[in-house]
Amino acid sequence: MINAASIGMSTRDLYLFNQGTLFHSYRTFGAHPIRLGDDSGVRFAVWAPNARSIRVVGSFNDWNGKRHAMLKVGETGVWSLFVPEIGPGTVYKYEIESQQGKIMLKSDPFAFQSELRPGTASIVTDLGGYRWRDDSWQRRKQEESPYHEPMLTYEVHLGSWKNNGKELFWTYEQMAGELVDYVTIMGYTHIELMPVTEHPLDQSWGYQATGYYSATSRYGTPEQLMFLIDRCHERGIGVILDWVPGHFCKDDHGLRLFDGTPIYEGANPLRAEKPLWGTLAFDFGCTEVQSFLISNAIYWMDVFHVDGLRVDAVASMIDLHLDKPPEMRTFNKHGGSENTDAIQFLKKLNETVFHYFPDSLMIAEDSSSWPAVTSPTYMGGLGFNFKWNMGWMNDMLRYMALAPKDRIHHHNLITFSLVYAFSENFVLPLSHDEVVHGKKSLLNKMSGTYDQKFAQLRLFYGYWMTHPGKKLLFMGSEWGQYDEWKDAESLDWKLLDYPLHNRMHHYVKTLNHAYAQLPSLWERDCDPGGFEWIDVHNAAQCIIVFMRRGHGINEFSVSICNFSDQPLQSYVIGVPEPGFYRVVINSESNEFGGTWEHVPELIESRPVIWQGRPCSLVVDLAPFSFQLLTYDPGEGPQMVETFH
């Protein structure tokens, strides 16, 4: 047994780790190149409270740990060892002997770099050498509120956005060029990276991790990932990391039975097992696990400058019964199905993140109806600042798959979301989950003929973009990828050679840039006063019309959606102001793949009261069409601008 100070560790830090409040655990645990006395080397530290013995093995000792036995640090459950004359690049593992004498080779839970799979060893890495260039981005974040700014996120799986063939991945550094340029040109404000934490199986997409502190080696080094994030910030693009604290995979080199006992997953297998996924849930009531996970969230923001986390599968964390067969169900001490440990963990997580990074994004992927997910913890909420609106997504995709004749009976599917649109701070997701094997692509979910599918997808995107809430779109959906997403192959970029796909791509780009330029579409996303129905009850013709308002007096826009397959001439809608209304986008324009050669640039209102408003517009509506209008207080056509 050794004391902490003798190896350059803080007794107080180890105490805080055991208490669940060491929120920068990565500065203590793992493999750190340091100087101890006159010697340079690496200090290893790992939590394994029930191990009989632990040795560091690796390339430096021919995987024979006899001379490199770790020692316990007091009564903390932590083991440590300083090994001189080694440094970055050293490949290592922990050889752990359980109380029963079983020998296990484990990767470092705090490893900052890992071998390329199928290798599973950890690699000593110094993460302090990268020189960041994003000072202006960091200042900009401090000056802006995400609630009142545009947020249009492009969700990316790095292995299949573009690649050179099966398992021939682009590097983070390559992505920092073409991907970031593309996202900038297309008008997205953020990139969301599907999990880049180290994982053994490509097909898990990173959602079953073994290395929570290790950026996957599939795409290069940690410094290359830093370069990708830095490049995003230089171009004004925020970076959100998909983060998976709900479960971890069972691979032998990972966290499962780490010291021969279930220290990360907890002792009750009915609680720990996630049978649907074949994974294990973290023991959220364990204070050391809390230090491990909360520090991990801080780590990605602190060391990698990530701007926010999309927290995966919140519903499965807070519900003890979700995806569990009846024989595996457990109950909390009050007899309910709520996982009270997970709920307290999420509150603590969000409080801690916002303490250190008040400008960050914490986004819950939550399919439940749990209340106050985005309310502050002091008001009884979970403390996130945004939540995915899964209800809106499910209703709308179901509606768009209906034949036009059936839509008149399901009008509520396109209007119900406004009943609860301001109960949380929502993101409207059109994510990878909706285009995986067996679910069809977004384009192919639309009903009707080939041409009608494109028309309806344009309509759907228009409604999505102007509906209250921030936005997220999965890669490939911007040009109407026809096949489902294939994670082992590159996206179907060749489709851009075909007119309808190319024009869909142009439409989405135009829509994206219009969104960014119109404060009415995002300034009051979280404010009921930023939305007004104009025409909500026209189920017979499958039409809805609504307004979005910004903070300015005349800062408003009008969205007109015709979800029927019938054209309508001289359709009348009420508007609040006299004068001219500019047609920002008409989805039936020929330039977007529609049939209209000429779209009016301006429409003048009439002094005729309609739908409770003092003025009205007369518009022609194509089948399956979307129009976005803005009020132009100028004097007519000479004031016209277009979004291209």
Catalytically active residues, by annotation: 312, 365
617 beta partners:
573
Count the helix, strand and coil residues of the chain and give each as a percent rounded to the nearest 5: 30, 25, 45
Q: Quote the CA–CA distance of 281 and 316 in Å, as a whole number.
A: 9
Q: Quote the CA–CA distance of 71 and 80 in Å, as a whole number.
A: 6
Q: Quote the CA–CA distance of 468 and 606 in Å, as a whole number.
A: 28
How many C-beta neighbours within 10 Å does residue 639 have? Answer: 13
DSSP string across 574-599: EESS-SEEEEEEETTBGGGTSSBS--
214's tokens: 């290790």
Q: By CB neighbour count within 10 A (0-12 exposed, 13-18 middle, 19+ buried), where does 527 fall?
A: middle
Going by DSSP bridges, is the β-strand pair 470-474/426-430 parallel, antiparallel, or unpaired? parallel
Which among 472, 385, 505 has a CA at the least distance from the CA of 153? 472
Spatial neighbors of 335 by CB under 8 A, at least 6 apart, are: none
Q: Are residues 454 and 478 in contact, defined by beta-carbon separation less than 8 angstroms?
A: no
Which among 579, 570, 572 has a CA at the least distance from the CA of 612? 572
Q: Are residues 106 and 58 in contact, defined by beta-carbon separation less than 8 angstroms?
A: no
Phi, psi angle pair for 611, to nearest 5°: 55, 40
Cα angle: 119, vertex 124, 130; to 5 degrees: 115
Q: Is 16 helix (H, G, I), strand (E, B) or coil?
A: helix
Helix axes 222-234, 135-143, angle to 10 degrees: 60
Q: Quote the CA–CA distance of 525 and 549 in Å, as a whole number.
A: 9
Q: Quote the CA–CA distance of 153 and 459 in Å, as a whole number.
A: 19
Q: Quote the CA–CA distance of 280 and 554 in Å, as a whole number.
A: 54
516's tokens: 């960014």
Q: By CB neighbour count within 10 A (0-12 exposed, 13-18 middle, 19+ buried), where does 204 fall?
A: middle
Q: Are residues 562 and 449 in contact, defined by beta-carbon separation less than 8 angstroms?
A: no
129's tokens: 């050498």
Phi, psi angle pair for 415, to nearest 5°: -115, -20
Q: Quote the CA–CA distance of 40 and 87 in Å, as a whole number.
A: 8
Q: Quote the CA–CA distance of 227 and 15 in Å, as a whole number.
A: 35
Q: Are residues 621 and 629 in contact, defined by beta-carbon separation less than 8 angstroms?
A: no
Evaluate the CA torsion angle 389, 302, 218, 187 in order and state its sign: positive
Q: Are residues 333 and 321 in contact, defined by beta-carbon separation less than 8 angstroms?
A: no
| Chain-centroid distance, C-alpha 307 | 11
Q: Are residues 308 and 362 in contact, defined by beta-carbon separation less than 8 angstroms?
A: yes
